[in-house]
Amino acid sequence: MAVAFIVLAQCLSTSLWFSPSGVAESLVLEWQLSAAAFSWLLAATQLGFIAGTLAFAFSGVADRFQPTRIFVVCSLLGALTNAAVTWGVTDYGVFWSLRFVVGICLAGIYPLGMKMLVQRVDSNPAAALGWLVGMLTLGTAMPHGLRALGQSWPWTEVLLGSSVLAVVGALLVAWVGQPHKQHQSPSVQTGLQVAPVRLNTQALREVIAVRGFRASALGYFGHMWELYAFWSVLPWLSLPISRSLLEAGHGWAPSVALISFCAIGIGFFGCVLGGLWSRRVGSARVAATALAASGLMCLVYPFIPGTWPLVQLGCLMFWGICVVADSPQFSAISAQQAPPQWLGSALVLQNGVGFLITVVSILLLGWAVQNWGSMALLLLAPGPVLGLWALQPLLAPDVQSSPRTLAKPL
């Protein structure tokens, strides 16, 4: 029951992440924003997340305080900051700064949710992480879902709705509380998962020297180049589909918000099913399959004629499943390949660089979509290509049978 509440709280609290995307059309019109300016709002959250992650890593706060307390505080503070923009803010710089603070708060939600889950899972972390990242995906889609439910709502009410969901997430985690030692997983009880997480040059050198971790990290970087940029432009991709279906005279057409919600939220099934499949074929093969499928969409989608809106819609749904299915698998692989004594630093390094990459891809794609339309999606293809190339050492049969085969420095 505690695990179920944690993953549900993760879904609710991470609705703060892309809350501006749920009201993209209204914000662009009311604030007179270009696509690039809107992309910078999304990038602000990513930059804040990076800053928050590094702050936790350098200070060791995440190990000195109970993760449940950090999650609750960050969820409540994030909800307050997300809502603050609705209180008469008219300056873009203030809006950007508030989104940056929301990103900092998310650094105490997503990673700490992962830690709380690990503390309660005895085995098969890939499957458990599949559920957690799946809930993160649903949380990311939630603002679009709120907008789909209330098409006539002002954009301020949608943002406030995301804040209310985050408050509920905080209350759920507060109710669950911290597990007793006897209920923690064996790895946590023996100290493997609770060693102080602080970045230092020795840790970075030793982590980077591990070939298996490098392969996983590079694959993750390619995945991150594609993932958040794809999510960020879904409202623009959904608009012509919605219009075409409406003009076709079907009597009803899905709104931009509903298409965006479904295209992101359907990734939940990709994460969960990928976690289950990893039990049979291993995390590396699941990640490679997802990367290949989403990379194919990067190349195919731009050439689908606009007169085929149902084909475009189906491809967006398929892409939404594949684009995030590899995310929990990369976390599981990196946890297996990293030196145990530097596990925290390894994951901080991987996540920090990965989210920095998303800032570049979000800004680049936001500008390109405005100028090139759907052809801009070709810019995402190098990510999956890099990821597939990097994963090759981890796909060898001997590595599949023994995950730590490559977990040795060169």
In this prediction, residue 193 carries a pLDDT of 42
Homologous superfamily of the 2-401 domain (CATH) = MFS general substrate transporter like domains (1.20.1250.20)
Residue that is written with structure tokens 């969901």 in the block = 165
Crossing angle between the packed helical segments 125-149 and 2-13, to the nearest 10 degrees: 50
User: How many whole angstroms separate alpha carbon 33 and alpha carbon 31?
Assistant: 5
Mean per-residue pLDDT over the chain, rounded: 85
Give whole-number Cα distances, 143 to 25, 83, 246, in Å: 13, 13, 23
* Confidence at residue 190, expressed as pLDDT on a 0 to 100 scale: 33
CA distances to 292, 295, 386 from 222, in Å: 11, 10, 5
pLDDT per residue as tens digits for the range 217-257: 999 999 999 999 999 999 999 999 999 998 877 667 889 99
Q: How many CB atoms lie within 10 A of CB 310?
A: 12
Res. 28 pLDDT band, cuts 50 70 90: confident
Residue 27's CB: how many other CB atoms inside 10 A?
21
Instruction: Specify the higher pLDDT residue, 351 or 387.
Output: 387
Query: What's the rounded mean pLDDT across residues 382-397?
Result: 91
Alpha-carbon distances of 269 from 22, 110, 138, 291, 320, rounded to whole Å = 21, 19, 10, 16, 10
Burial status of residue 278 (CB atoms within 10 A of its CB: 0-12, 13-18, 19 or more): buried
Closest among 144, 142, 126 to 327, alpha carbons compared: 126
DSSP 3-state of 120: coil
Residue 122: which pLDDT band, with cuts at 50, 70 and 90?
Answer: low
- Give the mean model confidence (pLDDT) for residues 336-346: 76
Q: Is the dihedral of CA 54, 57, 58, 60 positive or negative?
A: positive
Residue 402 pLDDT: 53
Q: What is residue 54's predicted lDDT score, i.e. its pLDDT?
A: 84
List all residues 6 or more positions away from 351 whose beta carbon is below 8 Å from its beta carbon.
53, 111
pLDDT of residue 126: 62
Q: Are 15 and 142 in contact (CB under 8 A)?
A: yes
> pLDDT value at position 250?
62
Mapped onto helix, strand or coil, the DSSP state of residue 45 is: helix
Reported as a single tens digit per residue, the pLDDT across 393-407 is 998 765 554 555 565
Q: Residue 92 burial by CB count (10 A; 0-12/13-18/19+): exposed, middle or buried?
A: middle
How far is it, in rounded angstroms, from Cα 291 to Cα 323? 7
| Residue 32, φ and ψ in degrees, nearest 5 | 55, 50
Determine what percent of the chain is predicted with pLDDT higher than 90.
51
Mention every residue, 6+ apart, whose C-beta is less than 8 A from residue 214. Answer: 208, 390
Residue type, 172: L
- Tens-digit pLDDT profile for residues 85-109: 999 889 999 999 999 999 999 988 9
Mind listing the pLDDT tens digit for each residue in 184-207? 444 443 333 444 455 567 767 777
351 pLDDT more than 90: no
* DSSP line for 341-401: GGHHHHHHHHHHHHHHHHHHHHHHHHHHHHHHGGGGGGGGTHHHHHHHHHHGGGGSHHHHH
Which are the contacts of 203, defined by CB distance < 8 A and separation ≥ 6?
342, 345, 346
For 355-366, the DSSP string reads HHHHHHHHHHHH
CB atoms within 10 A of CB 224: 24
Domain positions in the chain: 2-401
CB 137 within 8 A of CB 320: no
**How many CB atoms lie under 10 A from the CB of residue 270?**
27
Note whether 55 and 179 are within 8 A (CB).
Answer: no
Does the pLDDT value for residue 332 go beyond 90? no
Residue 382: which residues within 8 A CB-CB, separation 6 or more?
Answer: 222, 225
DSSP letter at 340 equals G
Question: Tokens 């570049």 map to which residue?
Answer: 360
